[in-house]
Amino acid sequence: MKNLAGITLAAILAIGAATGVHAEEFTKGVINKIDAKTNKVTIKHEELKNLDMPAMTMVFRVEDPAIRAKLKEGAAIEFVAERVNGKLTVTQMK
């Protein structure tokens, strides 16, 4: 039984590695502007490694109301951005 659990765990890890599953990496940034009407935020950020983007200032969608509640212009943040339905979206924030 112990051996079966080990084989199962190894298989899960191998599948995760093959499909690109990895821990989310937070990126540092500063909020420049918040547009509450469109649920968008402008962030000056460091390199977004998971999206292969250099440091720059850009606009992201923020769909999660809990994240939107934390947004303040001028605030230094750490966040995760991903492509959601083809749109760059903040999916997590510290």
Q: Among the listed ranges 2-11, 18-27, 56-65, which one has the minimum average pLDDT value?
A: 2-11
pLDDT at 18 over 90: no
Contacts of 63 (CB under 8 A, 6+ apart): 39, 84, 89
The answer regarding whether domain 24-93 maps to CATH 3.40.50.300 reads no
Q: What percent of the chain has pLDDT over 70?
A: 76
Q: Give the integer Cα–Cα distance in Å for 57 and 32.
A: 8
pLDDT, tens digit, 9 for 90 and up, residues 26-54: 999 999 999 999 999 999 999 999 999 99
- Runs of H (alpha helix) within 1-94: 2-18, 65-70
Domains of the chain, by residue range, sit at 24-93
